Amino acid sequence: MSGNDNRETEWDVIIIGGGPAGSTAATTLAQAGRRVLVLEKSKFPRFHIGESLLPYNRRIFNELGVWGKIESAGFTTKRAAQFILGDDTRGNRLDFSKGSFTEYPQAVQVERSKFDKILLDHSREAGADVAEECMVTDYRIEKDRVVLKYRSLDLADHEVTARYLIDASGLNNFTANKEKLRRYYPTHRKLAIFGHFSNVYMPKGEHEGDILIIRRERSWVWMIPLEENKTSVGLVIDAADFKALGKKPPEVFADAMADTPAVAKRFANAQSLDQFHVINDFSYKNDILASPRLLRVGDASGFIDPMFSSGVMLAMTSGQQGAQAIDAALKKDDPLSAEMKFYEKDNRRRIAIYWEFIENFYRLHFAQIFFQPYNRWGMVCSINAVLAGRTSLSWAVRWRLRAFFLLAWLNKYIPIAKRIDVR
């Protein structure tokens, strides 16, 4: 192994990946006085999907001390999420300022290249050592330390050591793949086809900045206003349905835009601003998130269908909580502390909250209630809070959510909601 560089010293923590989960973990640890190294294979700014944030991201921005930088970057303000039926007969607008259990009334829509760079630069300023264009190629866990190998842009190989490792490698799922821990949800093998477009007709005035989520029979479309005349538009489709169509991604995308009335009227004059992207959007979970000297955070802990824009919020929350758990473990020099184990449990609990909504969204009995919201007992307010990113659920929110899911289930057998065609 060559490349004895100035990163020879043993670190408290090494983090694989500088996306939102990795940079949040790095800032949290650096602010706690820990020596942190982030190894990131790309050079920022780099393109990334995941542009619509949730209001509860704000809590973490505040705690990291980065909100001022995000605010001055001039991102689009998002006040609501609109869920619309593909035939354009019905919609449900969740205004985050109108939820009695929602503490943060608005979020931002971001170009991830710019947003991720702000977060990573902030980690540097907090004292983390950030090495870009350094790809982690291997790792091993020893009794007292972890040893990582990485390759820099000049193709030199390096070895570094730390007391703990955080895997924040996103969908690359670096350590869990090596340990064969990834389990896909068999019913959620999707494909996303997306790009940036000009001349998309998006809501103006009071509803300006809203994300539109358009439900088709077995797929859905997102429309996210990023700038004055730049909208992110994507189609999420079942991988098997895509294959059965036997067409190229741009063709499948164009057909979906044209034959979905709620989309077609907005997309008729759209022009592509850059290339199409296609990505496997397979939901998965990893069997283990916390093991001796290792934690997995962000998408590297599990990935769920992005329908409710929960990815970045979940990634940053797990990055922060994971870093706090490692900080506690460092204090005790415990390879697998109680805090690390609790992190695993709590991370799974958070993901499960959104998974329940995602699984149900395609079910007719659920959609019939979801698209005819009726705020009896404040049930819509509890949904508003969760879809705004609230994961610490008080009893008041929990029982209302349970009542909502119970009614949605009963609706399968008794017509609780009017029978509308939601397909």
Binding site residues, ligand FAD, CB under 6 A: 16-22, 39-42, 48-53, 135-136, 168-172, 174, 192, 234, 279, 281, 298-300, 306, 309, 311-313, 315
User: Could you give the count of Cα atoms lying within 13 Å of 122 in the half-sphere of its Cβ?
Assistant: 26
Report in angstroms how near the CB of residue 375 gets to ligand FAD at its nearest: 26
253 closest CA partner among 216, 228, 227, 306: 216
Report in angstroms how near the CB of residue 234 gets to ligand FAD at its nearest: 6
User: Quick check: 314 and 346 in contact, CB under 8 A?
Assistant: no
- 2 burial via Cβ count (<10 Å: 0-12, 13-18, 19+): exposed
Q: How are beta strands 294-296 and 157-167 bridged, if at all? A: parallel
Report in angstroms how near the CB of residue 220 gets to ligand FAD at its nearest: 11
Report in angstroms how near the CB of residue 418 gets to ligand FAD at its nearest: 31
Report in angstroms how near the CB of residue 51 gets to ligand FAD at its nearest: 5
- Classified as helix, coil or strand, 28 is helix
Name which of 289 and 417 has its Cβ closer to ligand FAD.
289
Distance separating alpha carbons of residues 400 and 350, to the nearest angstrom:
17
Report in angstroms how near the CB of residue 91 gets to ligand FAD at its nearest: 18
Name which of 169 and 368 has its Cβ closer to ligand FAD.
169
Name which of 136 and 407 has its Cβ closer to ligand FAD.
136
Name which of 85 and 304 has its Cβ closer to ligand FAD.
304
Name which of 62 and 89 has its Cβ closer to ligand FAD.
62
Distance separating alpha carbons of residues 141 and 161, to the nearest angstrom:
10
Name which of 267 and 369 has its Cβ closer to ligand FAD.
267
User: Quick check: 115 and 230 in contact, CB under 8 A?
Assistant: no
Distance separating alpha carbons of residues 304 and 359, to the nearest angstrom:
10
Report in angstroms how near the CB of residue 49 gets to ligand FAD at its nearest: 4
Report in angstroms how near the CB of residue 415 gets to ligand FAD at its nearest: 34
Name which of 379 and 387 has its Cβ closer to ligand FAD.
387
Can you read off the two tokens belonging to residue 368? 């019939």
**Beta-carbon contacts of residue 352 (< 8 Å; ≥ 6 apart):** none
Report in angstroms how near the CB of residue 411 gets to ligand FAD at its nearest: 28
Name which of 295 and 379 has its Cβ closer to ligand FAD.
295
Placement of tokens 């509860």 in the chain: 56
User: Quick check: 271 and 257 in contact, CB under 8 A?
Assistant: no
Can you read off the two tokens belonging to residue 344? 């695993």
Query: Cα 63 from chain centroid?
Result: 19
Count the Cβ atoms, other than its own, within 10 Å of residue 324: 16
State residue 28 phi and psi, 5-degree precision.
-60, -45
Placement of tokens 């009227």 in the chain: 265
Name which of 43 and 204 has its Cβ closer to ligand FAD.
43
Cis ω on the peptide bond leading into residue 55 (within 30° of 0)? no
User: Could you give the count of Cα atoms lying within 13 Å of 143 in the half-sphere of its Cβ?
Assistant: 0
Name which of 233 and 393 has its Cβ closer to ligand FAD.
233
Distance separating alpha carbons of residues 91 and 77, to the nearest angstrom:
21
Query: Looking at beta carbons, which pairs linking 349-356 to residues 24 or more positions away fall under 8 Å?
Result: 349/391, 350/314, 350/317, 350/318, 350/391, 351/285, 351/301, 351/302, 351/304, 351/314, 353/386, 353/391, 353/393, 354/304, 354/308, 354/310, 354/314, 354/386, 355/304, 356/405
Name which of 55 and 99 has its Cβ closer to ligand FAD.
55
Report in angstroms how near the CB of residue 333 gets to ligand FAD at its nearest: 27
Report in angstroms how near the CB of residue 146 gets to ligand FAD at its nearest: 14
